[in-house]
Amino acid sequence: MVQIVASITSLFFMLVVTAVFAFVAMKSREKRDYEPIKKKWYKARTFYGTTLVILFLVVTIYTLRELPYDQPVYGEENLPIIVDVEAIQFGWNMSETEFSVGEPIEFHVTSSDVTHGFGIYDEDKNLIAQTQAMPEYTNEVYITFEEPGTYEILCLEYCGLAHHLMIQKIEVK
Amino acid sequence: MSSVVSEEKSRNNLVVSYLTIGGIVILAMMVFGVLMLLAQGGVLEFTPAAFYQFLTIHGTGMVGAAAFAAAGVMWYFLSKYVELSKKIMKINLVLFLVALVMVIIGVFSFEYASAWTFLYPLPAISANAWGVTGALLYLFGMLILGVGFLLLHLDMGRAIIKKYGSLAKGLGWDVISGKKAEKDAPSSTVVASTMVTIVNVTAITAGAIVLIMNIINVINPSFTFDPLLAKNLTFAFGHIFANSIIYMAVIAVYEILSKYTNRPWKANKPFLIAWTMSTAFTLVIYTHHMLMDPVMPKWMLIMGQILSYANGLPVLVITAYGALMIVYKSGIKWDMGSGLIYLSMFGWVVGVVPAIVDATIVVNHVMHNTKWVPGHFHMYMALGACAMIFGFMYYLAKQDSSIKTNKIDKLAFIGYTIGILGISGSFLVSGALSTPRRWATHFPEWMAPANVGAVAGVLAVLSLLVFVIHFVRYLNKRNKVDYKQDDKKLA
Ligand code: HEM
Ligand SMILES: [Cu+2]
Ligand SMILES: [Cu+2]
């Protein structure tokens, strides 16, 4: 979902950039005095720059409202399951690998050797959450699975020659 | 008079050597890029060890060679304004070659494969994939490379301070504050070079510290360091050093476009403020590489997003806008040099888009370390920075000799554009499909974009081959002319 929004947004602005560069290239062979062009373009730049700053501000505020770092507020009856995850060249030690739909889960992720990446993939192989698995530190991922199925943990930080084989299945019922 | 000419000639000789080496290394590294894509696409099969060695050499070689060539570009133009040491330029060349050899031996003879980020403590803990020798060859090689660049930047800093009084004045702060008139502002070349000096001295210092930490840890694993500190230093180094490439190479854009269009590209106040912003932001936004490290102070990560957005402003509002304005209705005569330069600005700006999107924390949460990341930086590096370098190579050849370009060069221009857009686009598609980066093999559903990328990669390789051949032909011409002139002098 996030990926789709990100891709479409990127594609849109990349096409805008392409159109602008193509337009200017097309108009490049005509020859006009520079001074009037400068005057006009500088005026336009003030508008363009301001628009851009406002756009960035709006997007910033909008996207910073909820961050994956924030621990959810749990109700009395709905305390999270804490799962200890330890990455090790080249596998995952997890205190639990079977979960239920709707229960809040906290993965507490660390590593016993080098840095790995803890990436949770759904059945369609979409990345839905991740954090770094670092030696000496514990990073937390908060997640509540909404669909049953077989999910997979893939390693998302290069950690040695079997990096791409660090895969662990987890079941959500 | 003749001594002035030969002085310039020998300066150009150095620049030409930088570009030749840079061009050839980039070409060679592209071949490894294609091989990696073919492996990921399931077309070729080789061992994971080979794949990760290719990954390591490709990343290291590309960043190193592009930085090296870009330094040549910067040096060429900066030496028109300040007095730079040729000796130091030569020392950097020698150190670069030494480093290159060490890295190649470390990677291919001793199977060292930590990727170019050598993230602590991976160099020491390889699960027996490589040993101490390979790691030390690589790490010391990088250290030597850093020393060479450090000397070069210190010399530039010295020369700028000597001529302009201080680095602050090199950035035009006295003009920004109104003490000095806009018309007396330092040239855009000097401003950019000052910026690069500041950020790269910082980058190399951070890099040297973390390299030495790794070296100590490799030699004696009982000496350990804080992995989070090491990570911060690594990305501070890697982000800044890789980004400095485009800030060095963009000098060619300023100089060449203003010359071709006969329009001045003066450093006015907004320009100077933009470069000061770039200096500050480039130094601090490396934290966007650590958005998936929630143990970092939260404010640093939030600043990582905000400042990464802000870092887009100087290029989007000043540099790119300036390039468009100077070209618009200028009656410019397009050739390979100006064409590649214009293309490079497009590459830079178009690559900024997915970069900014990925610097958004909620997006990064599901795109960090997917192929989205190489997607944006191949635009920025291969279509941006490298096109600046190649454009400069065509420009120099034209300035310096009677060499002509032909149809094949033009075809190569189109091939390069399509090739790199194809590679970057296929990476972005892979990233949108959640394909992890740095994976020796892909699941079947992830293979197709890799193969599209490989085909585009072949096109890019062939096109660059044409660029390089043109440059070598120019070198031949240039040397022949040399002899003739020398003969005349003797007679
Ligand atoms: C024909 C052109 C090229 C091809 C086919 C190519 C291909 C690749 C591939 C397959 C990867 C690994 C992607 C992954 O993580 O799975 C990669 C990574 C990379 N490439 Fe390229 N590339 C090309 C040109 C360039 C250029 C011109 C530069 C820079 C000047 C560059 C810089 C890098 C860097 C820095 C990495 C990251 C290495 C790492 O993850 O450790 N590439 N490239
Ligand atoms: Cu791992
Ligand atoms: Cu891994």
- DSSP class per residue in A121-164: E-TT--EEEEEEE-BT--EEEEEE--S-EEEEEEE-S--STTGG
Task: Name which residue sits closest to atom 17 of ligand 1, judged by CA.
Answer: B33
Cα distances from B329 to residues B88, B261, B326, B420, in angstroms, run 42, 9, 8, 28
Q: What is the pLDDT of residues B276-296, one digit of tens each?
A: 999 999 999 999 999 999 999
Which residues make Cβ contacts (< 8 Å) with residue B298, sequence separation at least 6?
A67, A69
Count the domains in chain B.
1
Closest-approach residue (CA) in chain B for A111:
B227
Q: Are B365 and A21 an interchain contact pair (Cβ–Cβ within 8 Å)?
A: no
What is the reported pLDDT for B212?
97
Q: Are B127 and A135 an interchain contact pair (Cβ–Cβ within 8 Å)?
A: no
Helix (H) or strand (E) holding A110: strand A104-111
Q: How far is the CA of B56 from the centre of ligand 3 (A)?
A: 15
User: Which pair of tokens denotes residue A137?
Assistant: 């530190």
What is the reported pLDDT for A8?
96
Across the range B291-320, mean pLDDT stands at 92
Helices then strands, counting H and E runs in chain B, come out as 17, 0
Tell me phi and psi for residue B360, to 5 degrees.
-80, 125
What is the reported pLDDT for B60?
97
Amino acid at B125: I
Q: Are B324 and A159 an interchain contact pair (Cβ–Cβ within 8 Å)?
A: no
Characterize B430-458 residue by residue with b for buried, 16 or more Cβ atoms within 10 angstroms of its Cβ, and e for exposed.
Answer: bbbbbbbbbbbbbeeebbbbbbbbbbbbb
Q: What 8-state DSSP symbol labels residue B488? A: H
User: How close A58 comes to chain B (CA, Å)?
Assistant: 11
The domain that contains B169 carries what CATH number? 1.20.210.10
What is the reported pLDDT for B4?
58
Give chain A positions within 8 Å (CB) of B298.
Answer: 67, 69
Which residues make Cβ contacts (< 8 Å) with residue B490, sequence separation at least 6?
none
What is the reported pLDDT for B6?
67
Q: What 8-state DSSP symbol labels residue B42? A: T
Length of chain B: 491
Q: Where does residue B406 rank: exposed (0-12), middle (13-18), buried (19+ CB within 10 A)?
A: exposed
Q: Rounded CA gap, A124 and A42, in Å?
A: 49
Tell me phi and psi for residue B362, to 5 degrees.
-65, -30
SS (H, E, C) A12-66: HHHHHHHHHHHHHHHCCCCECCHHHHHHHHHHHHHHHHHHHHHHHHHHHHHHCCC
A37: contact with B, CB 8 A cutoff: yes
SS3 A104: strand
The answer to whether residue A143 scores a pLDDT higher than 90 is: yes
B2 Cα distance to chain centroid: 35
Q: Are B361 and A21 an interchain contact pair (Cβ–Cβ within 8 Å)?
A: no
Query: Which domains, ranges and CATH numbers included, belong to chain A?
Result: 2-64 (no CATH), 80-172 (2.60.40.420)
Q: How far is the CA of B378 from the centre of ligand 1 (A)?
A: 7
Residues of chain B with pLDDT > 70, as a percent, come to 96
Q: Are B103 and B59 in contact (CB under 8 A)?
A: no
Closest CA to B439 of B373, B380, B376, B383: B373
SS3 B113: coil
Residue bearing tokens 């970069």:
B355
B310 Cα distance to chain centroid: 21
Give chain A positions within 8 Å (CB) of B129.
Answer: 160-161
Residue bearing tokens 């933009």:
B274
Across the range A136-163, mean pLDDT stands at 96
Nearest beta carbon to residue A139 from set B295, B332, B363: B295
Q: What is the pLDDT of residues B208-241, one digit of tens each?
A: 999 999 999 999 999 999 999 999 999 999 999 9
Strand order in the sheet with A149-155: A98-99, A167-172, A149-155, A116-121, A127-133
Q: Where does residue B94 rank: exposed (0-12), middle (13-18), buried (19+ CB within 10 A)?
A: exposed
What is the reported pLDDT for B10?
72
B293 Cα distance to chain centroid: 26
Q: What 8-state DSSP symbol labels residue B47? A: -
Across the range B242-255, mean pLDDT stands at 96
Q: How far is the CA of A155 from the centre of ligand 2 (A)?
A: 5
Amino acid at B46: F
Nearest beta carbon to residue B49 from set A45, A140, A161: A161
Give chain A positions within 8 Å (CB) of B126.
Answer: 160-161
Ranked by mean pLDDT, which of B3-12, B63-72, B472-481 comes out on top?
Answer: B63-72
The answer to whether residue B69 scores a pLDDT higher than 90 is: yes
Q: Where does residue B363 rank: exposed (0-12), middle (13-18), buried (19+ CB within 10 A)?
A: buried
Residue bearing tokens 């740095």:
B438
Q: How far is the CA of A159 from the centre of ligand 2 (A)?
A: 5
What is the reported pLDDT for B3?
54
The answer to whether residue B490 scores a pLDDT higher than 60 is: no
A65: contact with B, CB 8 A cutoff: no
The answer to whether residue B484 scores a pLDDT higher than 60 is: no
The CB density around residue A36, as the number of other CB atoms within 10 Å, is: 10
Across the range B461-470, mean pLDDT stands at 97
Distance between the two ends of chain B, CA-based, in angstroms?
18
Q: Rounded CA gap, B410 and B3, in Å?
A: 37
User: For chain B, what is the mean pLDDT?
Assistant: 94
Nearest beta carbon to residue B294 from set A63, A131, A164: A131
SS3 B240: helix
Q: Are B365 and A136 an interchain contact pair (Cβ–Cβ within 8 Å)?
A: no
Of the pLDDT bands very low, low, confident and very high (cuts 50, 70, 90), residue B479 is confident
User: How close B169 comes to chain A (CA, Å)?
Assistant: 25
Q: Are B77 and B189 in contact (CB under 8 A)?
A: yes
- Which of B51, B58, B246, B438 has most ligand 1 atoms within 8 Å of its beta carbon, as the pocket-test mutant? B58
Q: What is the pLDDT of residues A74-99, one digit of tens each?
A: 888 889 999 999 999 999 999 999 99
User: How close B317 comes to chain A (CA, Å)?
Assistant: 6
Q: Rounded CA gap, B25 and A22, in Å?
A: 31
Across the range A116-139, mean pLDDT stands at 96
Q: Rounded CA gap, B91 and B71, in Å?
A: 13
Give chain A positions within 8 Å (CB) of B295.
Answer: 134, 137-139
Question: Which region, left, alpha or beta, applies to residue A94 given φ > 0 means left and ψ of -120 to 50 means alpha?
Answer: beta
Characterize B130-140 residue by residue with b for buried, 16 or more Cβ atoms within 10 angstroms of its Cβ, and e for exposed.
Answer: beeebbbbbbb
Q: What is the pLDDT of residues A9-68, one digit of tens each?
A: 999 999 999 999 999 999 999 999 999 999 999 999 999 999 999 999 999 999 999 899
Q: Rounded CA gap, B285 and B304, in Å?
A: 5
Q: Are B293 and A161 an interchain contact pair (Cβ–Cβ within 8 Å)?
A: no
The answer to whether residue A135 scores a pLDDT higher than 90 is: yes
A10: contact with B, CB 8 A cutoff: yes
Q: How far is the CA of B234 from the centre of ligand 3 (A)?
A: 18
Q: Rounded CA gap, A36 and A40, in Å?
A: 6
Q: What 8-state DSSP symbol labels residue B288? A: G
What is the reported pLDDT for B491?
39
Within a 13 Å sphere around the CA of B433, how many CA atoms are in the beta-carbon half? 17
Q: Are B20 and B389 in contact (CB under 8 A)?
A: no
What is the reported pLDDT for B348?
96
* β-pairing verdict for A116-121 and A127-133: antiparallel
Domain containing B166: what range?
A: 2-490
What is the reported pLDDT for B333?
92
